[in-house]
Structure 1
Amino acid sequence: MTAELVVEIECRQRRMHGESLCGDTFRSQKIPEQGRILSVLSDGLGKGVKASILSTMTASMALRLVASDCEIIRSAETIMDALPTCQVRRIGYATFTIVDNRQKTGIRIIEMDNPPFVLIRNGEAAEVESRTIASRSRQDRVMRISTLEACPGDRLVILTDGITQAGLGTEPLKGGWRRDGCQRFIADQVQRNPSLSAGSLAQRILNEALRQEPGGRAQDDMTAAVFSFRRPRPLLVLSGPPFARERDGEFAHILDSFNGRKAICGGTTAEIVARELGREITTDLETCAMEVPPSARMDGVDLVTEGILTLTRVAHLLEQQLPPARSDAAAHLLDLLRKSDTIDFVVGTRINEAHQDPTHPVDLEIRRSIIKRISKVLEETHLKDVRIRYI
């Protein structure tokens, strides 16, 4: 992947019908200092709790070993030796797919017994050359290694066999949906909508796999993870007035000159920008809600919201991984953050005395603390590039 591209990563899963836990595990880890994102998809032997334990252990160990650049054969053998043994089959086993995505050297994909990945380029399925290597101590453990350089618009899709074997044994699909069927479906979806997000594509793959199953009930754990490569989508968030009032003009110019989407969080902040740029603020009463004040409109700005209450609500939704309950100002800000790749917070440091009132709720934190909370989740969970600048 070139330095000019970013990757959006989303995963959708469905546990086997009748089970309380999914036996597939998908995890990602960002290593900013190396310009690197690691992702692992593992499918544990069996079903339910046992499979979940095996896949979770495998994914965790794979992330740690690959991050340390441990030799891949040795890493695989370490994982296999560490897994608990199934009392029935007398083996400890989980499949895995590792995607090692480096900005400077491209992408390396390591697969062991998961269905081969799917690459869609320019709306068409593209095949990538691979090589196989076998474990020295476990000859039945063979890994397939592929390398590629991502291009804008590429979709890389990794799957567990619950997806490719959907419909297995049914009259129309005696051999299951198979990788070829998945590949045709994915290519068709991207052709129909070239801007389709990673999350939407992953959900459509899962839905289509379930459609193949009798009664729409998953006969195995199902996982589809999508990597979507594109040019970065930048977002600027201004919040809080500058410490020195003589910097109000500079503050407004930062927003006016930014090349990307823009949001203002804070009534005083919006008034400063409106005054300095000669623009009007119009309240959007359709976004009224109990938890947060309504948003507003301003020319040249994608979203204007109240400050502390709205930011606190967004931090809560992100930390708890909750979907917004209604279409209010916090939901709109959350959507902007999730749909952006690089996020710049410019935070004013002038204290707003109204928010130091001891009668306010404990969760009503000062602006800088809330934005740090939001940034932490965006970086660690959503793999965003986030910068905070104080003024």
Structure 2
Amino acid sequence: MSDLFTELEFHQVRKAAEHTAGDAFLVHKNTESNRLLAVLSDGLGSGVKANILAHMTANMAIRFAEAYTDFVHYARVIMNALPVCQVRKIAYATFTVLDCNPDGSVQIVELGNPPFILLRNGKATEVPFREFCSEQEDSRKLRVSRFKAQPEDRIIFFSDGVTEAGMGSTAYPLGWRNRGCAEFSEEQVQRDQRMSARDLARAVVNGALRREPDRTAYDDITCGVLYFRTPRKTLLASGPPFSEKKDPEFAEQIRSFDGTTIISGGTSAEIAAREFGRELQTDLFRYRRSPLPPISELDGVDLVTEGILTLTEVLNILEGKEKYTGDHAARLLSEHLLNSDIIHFLVGTRINQAHQDPNLPVELEIRRSLMRRIATVLEERYLKEVTLEFI
């Protein structure tokens, strides 16, 4: 499993008319051991109270899972510690804990949430499990599954907002249920065998929402997906090298890179075009209504954009502070980064005097600082493997 990458993403829609979600999704990756932990907790009810319950449970679960090898014992402690609603006779919060080790061994512990789905070879596959009963003489059971992941496996786990979508309607009197979600996920993967975890999680949530009357979320809808795959690599080159003597080396790194190649910056693209002996063409019609500069085309490079303005908006998108709506170069660049697993930044250090003008907007940061910030967000928020090289 050492040559596989684990892509973990989730998507969520909160209950209609609520300002906060009653589901919590937490992730922790140990950079030393490469162990990946994720918790999805569903608080009883909705809104602020459910949000607090879910986050308390998720934080407790992820701390126990991180600190102790025998998490099953501590999961039972959590189960028995969670009070039970006297009216509905269910726990105040449910949880699914996913524990993945670099050797591909996976342990999934579930309490109250719908059972996870393992897609193997594009089909839902049954996984053996053990059950542990609550010590409080109620009907709660802890479900524990262990297995060895294989290449192209996808683990799909969700709150009951997915399985109960459409409940009471003519088409889905009992809700979408696990089987409906599994069949839908199979169809999505068969249609796009390279579908990312991010896209599949979004598709499942949107699929559940479409089954609700008037497409209104009557509960919080959350789905997480863990995808085991060969890593997808991207090179993002921005800025001319410090010395013009480095131009051939700069271009050769782009030319020989085994993966997606992106150039962000007009001067950088001109250097590559000159060294490649190819023509750089600007596409004035694609995204012509965009507030950002247009994209360009260069044979041998997957995407060519303008530099600082576009990269600044990329950072806004990654941080959830997007300023511009619609399709534009920054959104396209962000999609490439988010669909990648290993990202190498090749950063030129030649000073562009235009960006030292104090009259320019504050957000026009110098390139090195901006690229470091993008790298940090990709590592910490999206769990990407990122390297920076200054040239």
In 2 relative to 1, CA 91–114 (structure 1 residues): closer, same or farther, beyond 3 Å? closer
In 2 relative to 1, CA 149–296 (structure 1 residues): closer, same or farther, beyond 3 Å? same
Matched letter for residue 327 of structure 2: S
Q: TM-score, normalised by structure 2?
A: 0.90
Q: Secondary structure at the match of 2:32?
A: helix
Kept after mapping to 2: 8 A contact 1:30/1:380 = no
In structure 2, the partner of 1:271 is: 270
**Structure 2: distance between partners of 1:364 and 1:187:** 45
In structure 1, the partner of 2:363 is: 363
Deviations 1:168-196 (A, max 9, x none): 34455443332222222222332333233
In structure 1, the partner of 2:332 is: 332
In structure 2, the partner of 1:59 is: 58
Q: Quick check: 1:389 aligned with 2:389?
A: yes
Of stretches 119-128 and 271-280 in structure 1, the one that deviates more from structure 2 is: 271-280
In structure 2, the partner of 1:221 is: 220
Q: 1:336, CA displacement in angstroms?
A: 1.4
Matched letter for residue 253 of structure 1: E
Matched letter for residue 374 of structure 1: I
In structure 2, the partner of 1:372 is: 372
Q: Quick check: 1:184 aligned with 2:207?
A: no
Q: Secondary structure at the match of 2:114?
A: coil
Deviations 1:49-72 (A, max 9, x none): 211111111122222221223542
Q: Secondary structure at the match of 1:175?
A: coil
**Structure 2: distance between partners of 1:254 and 1:281:** 18
Kept after mapping to 2: 8 A contact 1:41/1:96 = yes
Deviations 1:4-47 (A, max 9, x none): 22233332323334433321112222222222221111011122
Kept after mapping to 1: 8 A contact 2:201/2:225 = yes
**Structure 2: distance between partners of 1:359 and 1:244:** 27
User: What's the C-alpha RMSD, in Å, of the aligned pairs?
Assistant: 2.7
**Structure 1: distance between partners of 2:85 and 2:11:** 27
**Structure 1: distance between partners of 2:290 and 2:187:** 42
Of stretches 224-233 and 12-21 in structure 1, the one that deviates more from structure 2 is: 12-21
In structure 2, the partner of 1:317 is: 317
**Structure 2: distance between partners of 1:249 and 1:273:** 8
Kept after mapping to 2: 8 A contact 1:237/1:346 = yes
Counterparts of 1:190-339 in structure 2 under 5 Å?
190-286=189-285, 287-288=287-288, 291-322=291-322, 325-339=325-339
In structure 2, the partner of 1:8 is: 7
Of stretches 302-311 and 289-298 in structure 1, the one that deviates more from structure 2 is: 289-298
Q: Quick check: 1:353 aligned with 2:356?
A: no
Q: Identity over aligned residues, as a percent? A: 49
Q: Secondary structure at the match of 1:238?
A: strand
Matched letter for residue 259 of structure 2: G
**Structure 2: distance between partners of 1:80 and 1:133:** 10
Q: Unpaired runs of 5+ in structure 2?
A: none
In 2 relative to 1, CA 129–304 (structure 1 residues): closer, same or farther, beyond 3 Å? same
**Structure 2: distance between partners of 1:162 and 1:195:** 26
Give the aligned length. 390
**Structure 2: distance between partners of 1:87 and 1:365:** 56
Q: 1:139, CA displacement in angstroms?
A: 7.2
Kept after mapping to 2: 8 A contact 1:35/1:104 = no
In 2 relative to 1, CA 136–301 (structure 1 residues): closer, same or farther, beyond 3 Å? same
**Structure 2: distance between partners of 1:323 and 1:130:** 47
Q: 1:293, CA displacement in angstroms?
A: 2.1
**Structure 1: distance between partners of 2:282 and 2:14:** 44
**Structure 2: distance between partners of 1:172 and 1:251:** 58
Of stretches 104-113 and 323-332 in structure 1, the one that deviates more from structure 2 is: 323-332
Matched letter for residue 245 of structure 2: E
Deviations 1:92-112 (A, max 9, x none): 721101111222242211111
